[in-house]
Amino acid sequence: MKNTIAIVGRPNVGKSTLFNRLVGHRKAIMDNQSGVTRDRHYGYGDWIGKHFTVIDTGGYVHGSDDVFEESIRRQVKLAIDEADVVLFMVDVDAGMQGLDEEFANVLRRYQGKKPIYIVANKADTNARAHAAGEFYALGVGDGDIFTISSQSGSGTGDLLDAVVSHFEDPWEEVQDEGLPKIAVVGRPNVGKSSLVNLLLGEERTIVTEIAGTTRDAIKTRYNAFGNEFILIDTAGLRRKTKVKEDIEFYSVLRSIRAMEESDVCIVMLDATRGIEAQDVNIIALADKNRKGIVILVNKWDLVEDKETNSTKKIEEQILEKIAPIAYPPIIFTSVLTKQRVHKAIETAIQVYENKTKKIPTSQLNEVMLKVIEEHQPPSVKGKMVRIKYVTQLPTHNPVFAFFCNLPQYVSDSYVRYLENRMRDNFGFIGVPIGIIFRKK
């Protein structure tokens, strides 16, 4: 990536608040509780005609009891390595802390290799701005300390003027527009982040055995093996009654928003637990939002009795539970052993292609009018429905309009019949199909 800014520092100094200001909206979760951000979080912004990528990072800690400490430190260092400019945030209100000094030692190895700016946050009064001078003692940074208030935006203009002076113009990197968006969704701890990390070939998100490790929806561009798309790792979706913390509540909202913005949802299940009620709810939510769906049954390597628990038997159980939704492909995989992982991605791309597929009107009528002739709509109250013509509507999802004399008399069972024949003849695996009737 070109023109990349990394925002780093100890916990709770306002990194996510500044991130949200630079990208122009509340994309990262913010809370007074330290340690909310864990993974590297990416967004896009621009200033005086120059575009850039911003990386928000978890708070750098050392010697704490936090089980995520080592992973967060690794994520922070990866962000610094990726960045063209590093913003080292400190808190004027709290003053210089031991963790600030420890992190300054980490940054010294990058001094002279890339621009580093000390950003003194919460300097919303003259007295606080004056107190920021103590941070010169950290011995890192290029030039003056920038005093800002990330909450109000005060001082961020001067900071950005300095930052973008290091960037290329114009910014040649193409952003997300036009690329398929594939969201990895599911209950907590089914292997979503492990799948994302495996595909990207790096620890893009932190993985632990603790459910709820991922809190934000993390977007990353994937470009390998001839495929290019936006891959979105999401927080685990639990039932509302199970959500206790405010932070998890917002994480769930972000996951649902990521699902709504995606084109295809890879819904991950745990093979050792089978399909549960919340899995059904997640699949139903994706269907309600008219998303392409791929069901990925992960941890297949941990299923001991594979003869008794055959894939065919489990597929039948899944389809029975999610009925009447019957179109998603089901793939059995193991992220740990890398079994059939790329097949899952190939299938997701195929589903996206099906979702955007357009069938020529002449071909539609040639095929479907024969299907209708073979099995006419049943008469209702002595009325005979005559379907004359069919066309695909210019919508984001496959929707087909059948023109007939009496659209109000077409039964639900006949709609399902037409949908099944559409799938038999034109595919549309993994994609919800809309069928409407209009008067001719």
Question: Is position 181 annotated in a ligand binding site?
Answer: no
Taking CA atoms, 27 is separated from 65, 71, 156, 179, 205, in Å, by: 28, 22, 18, 20, 17
Question: Is position 321 annotated in a ligand binding site?
Answer: no
Residues in the chain: 440
Question: Is position 170 annotated in a ligand binding site?
Answer: no
Question: Is position 386 annotated in a ligand binding site?
Answer: no
Question: Is position 24 annotated in a ligand binding site?
Answer: no
Question: Is position 193 annotated in a ligand binding site?
Answer: yes
Strands of 227-233's sheet in order across = 218-224, 227-233, 181-186, 264-270, 292-298, 330-332
Question: Is position 143 annotated in a ligand binding site?
Answer: no
Question: Is position 207 annotated in a ligand binding site?
Answer: no
Question: Is position 32 annotated in a ligand binding site?
Answer: no
Strands of 41-47's sheet in order across = 41-47, 50-56, 4-8, 85-91, 116-121, 146-147
Q: Is 191 helix (H, G, I), strand (E, B) or coil?
A: coil
**At how many degrees (to 10) do helices 412-426 and 361-374 cross?**
130
Question: Is position 430 annotated in a ligand binding site?
Answer: no
Question: Is position 54 annotated in a ligand binding site?
Answer: no
Q: Is 334 helix (H, G, I), strand (E, B) or coil?
A: strand
Question: Is position 16 annotated in a ligand binding site?
Answer: yes
Question: Is position 301 annotated in a ligand binding site?
Answer: yes
Question: Is position 56 annotated in a ligand binding site?
Answer: yes
Residue 57 makes CB contacts below 8 A (sequence gap 6+) with: 6, 7, 8, 15, 37, 40, 41, 72, 75, 76, 79
CA pair distance 233, 155, nearest whole angstrom: 33
Question: Is position 300 annotated in a ligand binding site?
Answer: yes
Question: Is position 126 annotated in a ligand binding site?
Answer: no
Question: Is position 190 annotated in a ligand binding site?
Answer: yes
The strand pairing partners of 269, in sequence order, are 297
CA pair distance 205, 94, nearest whole angstrom: 30
Question: Is position 76 annotated in a ligand binding site?
Answer: no
Residue 119 makes CB contacts below 8 A (sequence gap 6+) with: 18, 87, 88, 89, 90, 145, 146, 148, 159
Question: Is position 186 annotated in a ligand binding site?
Answer: yes
Question: Is position 15 annotated in a ligand binding site?
Answer: yes
DSSP state of 152: T
Contact 267, 279 (CB under 8 A): yes
Q: What's the distance, Cα to Cα, between the start and end of the chain in Å?
A: 54
Question: Is position 262 annotated in a ligand binding site?
Answer: no
Question: Is position 215 annotated in a ligand binding site?
Answer: no
Question: Is position 327 annotated in a ligand binding site?
Answer: no
Question: Is position 233 annotated in a ligand binding site?
Answer: yes
Question: Is position 188 annotated in a ligand binding site?
Answer: yes
Question: Is position 141 annotated in a ligand binding site?
Answer: no
The closest alpha carbon to 152, from 175, 195, 178, 121, belongs to 121
Q: Could you give the residue ranges of the DSSP H alpha helices within 165-275?
A: 192-200, 246-261
Write out the E strands in 15-103: 41-47, 50-56, 85-91
CB atoms within 10 A of CB 20: 19
- List the binding residues for GTP: 9-16, 56-60, 121-124, 186-193, 233-237, 298-301
Q: Please give the annotated binding residues, written as ranges.
A: 9-16, 56-60, 121-124, 186-193, 233-237, 298-301
